[in-house]
A and B are shown apart, each in its own frame.
Chain A
């Protein structure tokens, strides 16, 4: 029972990072109808910038803040310089550009930070020594994991305030719902999309730093699996639902953690365990999607012929 609680907390902690990156995907999906395949690599690039700043002596928190600010600008530039012109070519062009961006950013990271291929040591934001845990309900909860979870939950809460309570959030929701009508009420849809890309990039910068902190390492391969799991989380929750992305991310993290710690003396432990945890997680998502094709909380639109 104690272990179970611990596994769930670990799962929630890593799942919260999936949830955060998934939110970045949802923000862009709602605005454009496309999955941003470069989300993980955008996060990777920002994380490497954070690493570089920290390596040059900038305090970690400040480094994250600077890199998030740079990501904001970079995300906006990606929209203005690449995605929007591509969108004018054809409806599918932005997807291709995102795939190209994925490849370009990944190799650019390798070029600018040559040692990132093997992995660069990344400091954790929170105390992560073996002794740094608190005991709650008899289970040992590591302070680092609690810290990550807290940071993500606060960030998520801020995002929800942005979506629900601010004028720009309202504009984002109108664009997601009906871009033509949004224009008709005077929403500058292009600027809103630009903001969405900027926001997604900032989310990536924060999520990437947290993930690298947990791993105490950042390498050019490390964000791809985070992207995949976040995409899966967003799909599970429904690609156009921010709440769904959070729930999807957290449950994916918990599923992974529970499957990864599946007891060896239980049935089928040959097939369920640390090596196949992602497989099992994806299978569960597949089953969910078969029952609910637009994810748990996604909206299915009626198409007019």
Chain B
């Protein structure tokens, strides 16, 4: 097993304010890695720094290749897809166009068959394929955001708080979907969450992020047994 994503000493922020202060992280191929953290810990900043959306310093290697200086659209074509916080679907475009936009970086001829595959996985989206994305419910939009990311045939999926604003039942179904994608399609996932209970269930590896620093990392069982974590995130 090799690390698909290697992050060393990653620092990033907005203008003069640094949010991440040198973070290390490894995501093994085929695993679901979860970053847990409270509001303002720097979770979203971390994903944005990895996908190149904000200026960053440090080491980010993907698939054995440095992507620290790579433009975000190029990083997508290398195989890193991000599902941004708040879903980021193209609300004025139809579901179908959203999906096709997801395949923008690809130049092969299997887009149509992929489309069929993911419509099969997400039948709700197929029902609404000619509807504008803005008319979908929150859960459906989250599904669409994930399906759209999958259309780029990513090796690594970055998910930014997919549970945000969703009802508990829908969140649960969503996490099952992510787990299924990991198990059946071998998709590597880096998930950022506040909802520790659900995230720990599907994770292979967990990191705790606090005020821009990783303060603990390990297997879900090890993290869950840590007293401080239990108090802060698991309400026990």
When distances are taken between beta carbons in the complex, the residues of chain A under 8 Å from B93 are 173-174, 177
Q: Is the CB of A185 within 8 A of B92?
A: no
Interface size counted on chain B using CB atoms at 8 A: 26
Q: Report the bound CA distance from A176 to B91 in whole Å.
A: 11
Residue of A nearest to B71 (CB): A188
Residue of A nearest to B83 (CB): A184
How distant is B98 from chain A, measured CB to nearest CB, in Å? 8
Say if the beta carbon of B63 comes within 8 Å of chain A: no
Say if the beta carbon of B37 comes within 8 Å of chain A: no
Q: Report the bound CA distance from A171 to B90 in whole Å.
A: 11
How distant is A185 from chain B, measured CB to nearest CB, in Å? 5
How distant is B55 from chain A, measured CB to nearest CB, in Å? 13
When distances are taken between beta carbons in the complex, the residues of chain B under 8 Å from A81 are none
Q: Report the bound CA distance from A87 to B4 in whole Å.
A: 36
Say if the beta carbon of A143 comes within 8 Å of chain B: no
Interface size counted on chain A using CB atoms at 8 A: 19
Q: Report the bound CA distance from A8 to B102 in whole Å.
A: 44
Q: Is the CB of B104 within 8 A of A173?
A: no
What number of residue pairs across chains A and B have CB atoms under 8 A from each other? 67
How distant is B21 from chain A, measured CB to nearest CB, in Å? 24
Q: Report the bound CA distance from A180 to B73 in whole Å.
A: 11
Q: Is the CB of B51 within 8 A of A170?
A: no
How distant is A271 from chain B, measured CB to nearest CB, in Å? 41
Say if the beta carbon of A57 comes within 8 Å of chain B: no
Q: Is the CB of A186 within 8 A of B105?
A: yes
Q: Is the CB of B53 within 8 A of A185?
A: no
When distances are taken between beta carbons in the complex, the residues of chain A under 8 Å from B105 are 185-186
How distant is B57 from chain A, measured CB to nearest CB, in Å? 20
A-B contacts, 18 of them at CB < 8 A, read A170-B97, A170-B101, A171-B101, A173-B93, A173-B97, A174-B104, A177-B91, A178-B91, A181-B84, A182-B101, A183-B72, A185-B105, A185-B148, A185-B149, A186-B74, A186-B77, A186-B152, A187-B101
